[in-house]
Amino acid sequence: MAESPEKPLLQVLLCSPRGFCAGVVRAIESVERALAIHGAPVYVRHEIVHNRYVVDSLRQKGAIFVEELDEVPDDGQPVIFSAHGVPRTVPAEAGRRNLFALDATCPLVTKVHREAEIHYRRGREIVLIGHSGHPEVVGTMGQLPAGSITLVETPEDVDRFVPRDVHNLAYVTQTTLSVQDTLGMVERLKGRFPEIVGPHKEDICYATTNRQEAVRRVAPVVDAMVVVGAPNSSNSQRLKEVAEKSGCPFAVLVQRAADIDWARFENVTRLGVTAGASAPEVLVEEVLDAFARRYALSVETVSAATEDMFFPLPRPLRDQAAE
């Protein structure tokens, strides 16, 4: 009997922390708890977190995903707002229609909303560093009247920005940006407008910062990096970019093992693996299993930080669970 050829060796450096953050855990648990208390259906405005696997699992349990509140019937069932946050018009509309709304906005996104509000009340014109069209940016801009916040996406946008009063400016940022790129944007803003006021500590959240730091450590010593995450997940996209900018020859974003283009990994002997904040660990395991079928793996974890962040569920769900 012919012996099966030996598998090539592959050393995997597994980034830590990776995957779910406290805001994502809270958002998913909010939907699950609402389903347990109220039964199906539970409506969810927008993908609760940017991950198809998570969304499909919740859909199977009875969640119905909608893009806007006008798709939610007046049947008394809860409607949950996603972790990314919503413009003020959304809770206002829910209130007007007397919908049973639950807000799963990540507390770290809410913190940015409050910062923007305070700047506005102090009469400051606000610059938001972020990506146009991302639901978090739509939500943050929608906290204040139109025209109060100017979005800047690139250094060129910063150069083009013409404020009403250079002495009365503030900035806030999206929570899931590249730490390094954002530092550059903030420096540029401060260079043009030395009096601009910003957060004491940047708005980029702990989860984004830690996942990028782990990638920065692994990227220079591997031949390739696999980021498990969705193409519409901002923090997953940033992990891919950070890997490439930190010296990794190529980085790919995959949602599932089935997305892997194996030809690209033929000559890889050291591989970095991480996952965006909305990607469940089960998908990381699926990807590692797929590599293990083709390679003899040795797996080592590279840790950049220890996380113990926890956010309690929205109050109505906590109160109802207690009852």
**Which helix (H) or strand (E) element contains residue 186?**
helix 179-192
Closest CA to 102 of 82, 88, 84, 72: 82
Q: Please give the residues from 223 up to 252 whose contact with ligand SF4 meets the rule CB under 6 A.
A: 235
Q: Let me know if 3 is a catalytic residue.
A: no
Measured in degrees and rounded to the nearest 5, phi and psi for residue 56 equal: -65, -40
Determine if 137 is a binding residue for ligand SF4 (CB under 6 A). Answer: no
- Rounded to an integer, what distance in angstroms lies between the CA atom of residue 124 and that of residue 196? 9
Q: Which of 136, 195, 300, 323 is catalytic?
A: 136
Nearer to ligand SF4, 17 or 41 (CB): 17
Determine if 109 is a binding residue for ligand SF4 (CB under 6 A). Answer: yes
Closest approach of ligand SF4 to the CB of residue 81, in Å: 13
Determine if 175 is a binding residue for ligand SF4 (CB under 6 A). Answer: yes
> What are 254's two structure tokens?
């995959």
Using only the alpha carbons of the chain, give its radius of gyration: 22
Residue at token pair 């974890």: 301
Beta strands across the sheet bearing 42-45: 63-66, 42-45, 78-81, 100-103
Residue at token pair 């927008």: 46
Closest approach of ligand SF4 to the CB of residue 179, in Å: 12
Site string for ligand SF4, 1-30 (x = CB under 6 A): --------------------xxxx------
Closest approach of ligand SF4 to the CB of residue 174, in Å: 9
Closest approach of ligand SF4 to the CB of residue 277, in Å: 4
The residues binding ligand SF4 (CB under 6 A) are 21-24, 83, 106, 108-109, 175-176, 205, 207-208, 235, 277
